[in-house]
Chain A
Amino acid sequence: AQSVAQPEDQVNVAEGNPLTVKCTYSVSGNPYLFWYVQYPNRGLQFLLKYITGDNLVKGSYGFEAEFNKSQTSFHLKKPSALVSDSALYFCAVRDRRGNNRLAFGKGNQVVVIP
């Protein structure tokens, strides 16, 4: 079964500094990888995904993520964080050979300090 680990509970970063949210995954086959963001009292919003091809994928709101097969990682990054980026971020994985189930990590609370 697929699983995701997001090792940190909370990520604090000063506004304007680079933001990184870590994610590692485990699947039996090759993965489809996703990042979602959840703002208070709202549903999940899709940020970006890795399906195939270039290991660096770019998404919404200036976010990007790098797929690293050898390290089974898919870390989310943003070069310059904004206060409005403060939210809960979820990494998710789907096994290509699986049953369309999407497994989520526990989530990381990102706090951008003005």
Chain B
Amino acid sequence: SAVISQKPSRDICQRGTSLTIQCQVDSQVTMMFWYRQQPGQSLTLIATANQGSEATYESGFVIDKFPISRPNLTFSTLTVSNMSPEDSSIYLCSALTGTSVNEQYFGPGTRLTVT
């Protein structure tokens, strides 16, 4: 199993600013992911965070808006850049240990409100 922590747990930000969310896993994991969960909706995959290389982004998400780092096997950051109210959402970090037969673990989320 893996225990995932995220910082901050919540934040209120002004339009046009940026916020970096940190994700720490208590053990080495195979893959790390970032999801967005908008109010009352399901989880949407933003990107897969690759260690030591550029993240793999899903359709509709770009690096300039959501730069991601993963410097080692247990840590990743997601930055939400040039924020607008439409970016208000819960951002979830997730990790996969081992192979694809395994369940993913999720952090508690970062609740972002953009005013």
Contact = CB atoms under 8 A, between A and B. Distances in A.
A34 B43 contact: no
Contacts of A101: 45, 48
A51 B33 CA distance: 21
B106 interface: yes
Contacts of B41: 106-107
Interface size class of A (residues with CB under 8 A): 20 to 34
Interface size class of B (residues with CB under 8 A): 20 to 34
Contacts of A114: none
B35 to A, nearest CB: 8
Contacts of A36: 106
A35 to B, nearest CB: 10
A67 interface: no
Interface in A30-60: 32, 34, 36, 42-46, 49, 51
Pick the most buried of A34, A94, A105: most chain B CB atoms within 10 A of its CB: A94
A96 B101 CA distance: 8
A94 B100 contact: yes
Interface of B: 4, 31, 33, 41-43, 45, 48, 92, 94, 96, 100-101, 103-109
Nearest 10 pairs of A and B residues by beta carbon? A44-B106, A43-B106, A43-B108, A106-B42, A46-B103, A104-B43, A104-B42, A100-B100, A51-B101, A107-B42
